[in-house]
Amino acid sequence: MSNESLYVRHNQAYSAKLFAYAPEAFKAFGEFNKQALAAGKLTVKTKELIAVAVAHITGCPYCIEAHVTKAKDQNASLEELVESIVVATAVNAHSVFYNAINALNAYHSTGAEEDLFARSNLEKIEDIEKLNEAQYTSFTGFVHSALQPGLLTGKEKILIALASAHITGNAYSIEIFAKQAKEAGTTLEELSETILVATALKAGSALAHRVNAQQAFDHN
């Protein structure tokens, strides 16, 4: 292994070194990951597009490489992958933007409020528009554009958005995109599969970095 980079395309023998120290747990995660990405109500291609998108939020280069390859194996085009990535980009920013509601609440807080994520807070986003209409319009225009049907359908993009919101963990974004997913005809089965893909990728990004931990342990 090279000491010059923290991200090296590692061989299986090296990355599997830690398996022996928690074999049952590693095996259990592997089985969960396999099931989460398997065909169900959603196709393998759709799940891999979701995986590629959310991997760009976790920032795991191992996950990006693995799932781009798997998406390509499912005949996903580079253009479709880019559309997926743009949706993830928009949702990541969307979650940051909607946290501004909490910033407004904190700025005007009297310290008496109990609920930090009231559903009614969503209406306060209009206060952001009043503060800077040009930037608000520019940002919301970007999110709207990212979610418009292209090579991917509007429903596919909303599923990617919902998965991405589960990676960011923003309650406002989850609320908004879950409602839009329902309006797009998403079933509870499809919703569940989408969330499980996001779960697998979020956990998988941590697990994929075991090689970095192993490198640090071996070389320091």
pLDDT in tens, 135-191: 999 999 999 999 999 999 999 999 999 999 999 999 999 999 999 999 999 999 999
- What pTM value is reported for the model? 0.90
Across 185-199, average pLDDT: 98
User: How far apart, in whole angstroms, are the C-alpha atoms of residue 50 and residue 47?
Assistant: 5
Residue pLDDT, tens place only, 105-115 = 889 887 766 78
The percent of residues above 90 in pLDDT, for the chain, comes to 70
Q: Which residues of 54-92 are buried (b: 16+ CB within 10 A; e: fewer)?
A: bbbbbebbbbbebbbebbeeeebeeebbebbbbbbbbbb
Specify the residue for token string 């993830």.
Answer: 88
Q: What is the pLDDT of residue 119?
A: 86
Whole-angstrom distance, CA of residue 73 vs CA of residue 94: 31
Of the candidates 97, 98, 144, the one whose C-alpha atom is nearest the C-alpha of residue 117 is 98
Task: Find the mean pLDDT for residues 62-71.
Answer: 95
* Average pLDDT score, the chain: 91
As a whole number of Å, the CA-based R_g of the chain is 20
HEC assignment per residue over the chain: CCCCCCCCCCCHHHHCHHHHHCHHHHHHHHHHHHHHCCCCCCCHHHHHHHHHHHHHHHCCHHHHHHHHHHHHHCCCCHHHHHHHHHHHHHHHHHHHHHCHHHHHHHHCCCCCCCCCCCHHHHHHHHHHHHHCHHHHHHHHHHHHHHCCCCCCCHHHHHHHHHHHHHHHCCHHHHHHHHHHHHHCCCCHHHHHHHHHHHHHHHHHHHHHCHHHHHHHHHHC
| pLDDT value at residue 218 | 80
What is the C-alpha separation between 143 and 60, in angstroms, rounded?
Answer: 23
Predicted pLDDT at 17: 79
pLDDT band at 120 (very low <50, low <70, confident <90, very high): confident
The answer to whether the CB of 121 falls within 8 A of the CB of 12 is no
Q: pLDDT tens for residues 70-94?
A: 999 999 999 999 999 999 999 999 9
The gap from C-alpha 66 to its chain's centroid, in whole angstroms, comes to 15
pLDDT at residue number 110: 73
At 112 the pLDDT is: 66
With beta carbons less than 8 A apart as the criterion, state whether 167 and 54 touch: yes
In this prediction, residues 100-125 reach a mean pLDDT of 83
From 8-17, 22-31, 189-198, the region with the lowest mean pLDDT: 8-17
Using a pLDDT cut of 70, give the percent of the chain over it: 92
